[in-house]
Amino acid sequence: MLVSVLLMIALASAEPSVYFREQFEDDAWNSRWVESSHRSDYGKFVLTAGKFYGDAEKDKGLQTSQDAHFYSSSARFDPFSNQGKTLVIQFTVKHEQNIDCGGGYIKLFPADLDQADMHGDSNYNIMFGPDICGPATKKVHVIINYKGKNHLIRKDIRCKDDEYTHLYTLILNPDNTYEVKIDNKKVESGSLEEDWDILPPKKVKDPEAVKPDNWDERERMEDPDDKKPEDWDRPENIADPDAKKPEDWDDEMDGEWEPPMVSNPDYKGEWKPRKIDNPDYKGKWLHPEIDNPDYSADSEIYRFDSIGVIGLDLWQVKSGTVFDNFLITDDATLAEEVGSETWGQTKVSGTHLSGSHLHIHTGVSLESHSPPTSSLAICSKMLCLNKSTSLLSDPYEDIFVTLPTSTLQTVKMLIPAVC
């Protein structure tokens, strides 16, 4: 009996914890997400699946709706500490507007956050997710707050910059290691201590050490026995020996005639002694290091005593980003399974037809921003689109056609023939 009870306790303790999950499956999301009133001009989030999607209901998420605005909204959950446990943060981002400059990241806050007053300077635990601004900035932020100071990861993690939905996952382990995944694939991993400047360095230069005066760092030196040849020095230019004084030259009128100067074929340039190996060469002097008296190891860099709010606190020049499938758990395997069941089932990928901006999205829809420049047609028994089709009557209006999966498979097979 005792064994059975202990087994049940062990199994219960092994169950993964889901601290927060949001897929916007009901109309009560407005009560769960609190808009900050710290500023009066925050942009508005709207609930939508966007211009294209894999599933009209399952792909609904919070979308930024106003250009050139700050956004600030958050959701609260039962507070917890990740001490001794893995922390997994996961969500999806779709920049369907071809974002030029704006954030796509989330922040985890302590439970004492005043949601109504949340703003850019509010203290947070973790900031994670994509950030894009022009061609130079396309990165995944992983910022960790340690003892009140925010620390940026030193590695450059490239984010996705297309208009499709992508799954972002951050895993912090209780052994102070981490992993970043995009679309359920690892893109970076390592040590919190090594990849952030969270702790002071273990070693510092010895302030008492000084390079000896006789330390010779010259690998090569001039040969002291090499002597300049006696006939080395010659002028760089000489009077042209073939020049003749013109017959009509008048010394009284024209002055004394001088032949023009030409390059001296015997000129050898500046003499320099040859180089030889330096017998006294000792190599480059390296400043000796000592243990840093300010360094103190911390086996719990990963730990946060209070995690209770997830928030979207960002700026976007061009709005249209959709956030969805939020998950905070202590189980990386569960997160991967949830990612496969959500993003993996409804993700939209695509193929662009050159010159037409025609997008074929697997699983659901077709979008076109302008008609083909020539009579481009993609035909099957169920689909034929060209310049004359009524679906393309307004080239400046987004057009969406829901298609059966079988038709899309046919279209996908025809893509290489028309691209």
CATH number at residue 132: 2.60.120.200
In a domain, 406, yes or no: yes
Which residues define the annotated binding site?
Answer: 23, 58, 60, 105, 107, 124, 131, 313, 324
**In a shared domain, residues 50 and 131:** yes
Strands 177-182 and 165-172: antiparallel
Q: How many domains does the chain have?
A: 2
**Model pLDDT for residues 73-132, shown as the tens digit of each residue:** 999 999 999 999 999 999 999 999 999 999 999 999 999 999 999 999 999 999 999 999
**In a shared domain, residues 42 and 150:** yes
**In a shared domain, residues 82 and 187:** yes
In a domain, 359, yes or no: yes
**Model pLDDT for residues 281-305, shown as the tens digit of each residue:** 999 999 999 999 999 999 999 999 9
Domain ends where: 316, 345, 374? 345
pLDDT for 254 equals: 83
**In a shared domain, residues 109 and 159:** yes
**In a shared domain, residues 355 and 329:** no
pLDDT band per the 50, 70, 90 thresholds, residue 266: confident
Q: Is the pTM of this model over 0.85?
A: no
Average the pLDDT over 139-147 and give the result.
98
AA letter at 235: P
pLDDT for 251 equals: 84
Average the pLDDT over 30-54 and give the result.
96
**In a shared domain, residues 367 and 387:** yes
In a domain, 222, yes or no: no
Mean pLDDT estimate for the chain: 84
> What proportion of the chain, given as a percentage, has pLDDT over 70?
80
**In a shared domain, residues 325 and 369:** no
**In a shared domain, residues 139 and 169:** yes
Which residues define the annotated binding site for Ca(2+)?
Answer: 23, 58, 60, 324
**In a shared domain, residues 323 and 377:** no
In a domain, 161, yes or no: yes
Annotate 302-329 with b (16+ C-beta within 10 A) or e (fewer): bbbeebbbbbbbbbbeebbbbbbbbbbb
Burial class (CB in 10 A: 0-12, 13-18, 19+), 175: exposed
In a domain, 244, yes or no: no
**In a shared domain, residues 330 and 357:** no
In a domain, 308, yes or no: yes
Domain ends where: 310, 345, 380? 345
In a domain, 183, yes or no: yes
Strand order in the sheet with 365-368: 350-353, 358-361, 365-368, 399-402
Which residues define the annotated binding site for an alpha-D-glucoside?
Answer: 105, 107, 124, 131, 313
Beta strands in 248-398 (DSSP E): 261-263, 275-277, 289-291, 307-316, 321-329, 350-353, 358-361, 365-368, 378-379, 384-385
In a domain, 284, yes or no: no
Look at residue 375 and tell me whether its pLDDT is greater than 90: no
Structure tokens at 213: 């005066």
CA of 16: how far to CAs of 13, 108, 126, 330, 390, in Å?
8, 20, 21, 6, 52
**73: number of Cβ within 10 Å:** 21
**In a shared domain, residues 376 and 393:** yes
- Structural domain boundaries enclosing 407: 350-418
**Model pLDDT for residues 296-351, shown as the tens digit of each residue:** 999 999 999 999 999 999 999 999 999 999 999 999 999 999 999 999 999 876 54
Domain ends where: 289, 318, 345? 345
pLDDT for 349 equals: 64
Contact 177, 193 (CB under 8 A): no
Smallest Cα–Cα separation from 61: which of 89, 107, 95?
95
Smallest Cα–Cα separation from 167: which of 192, 186, 153?
186
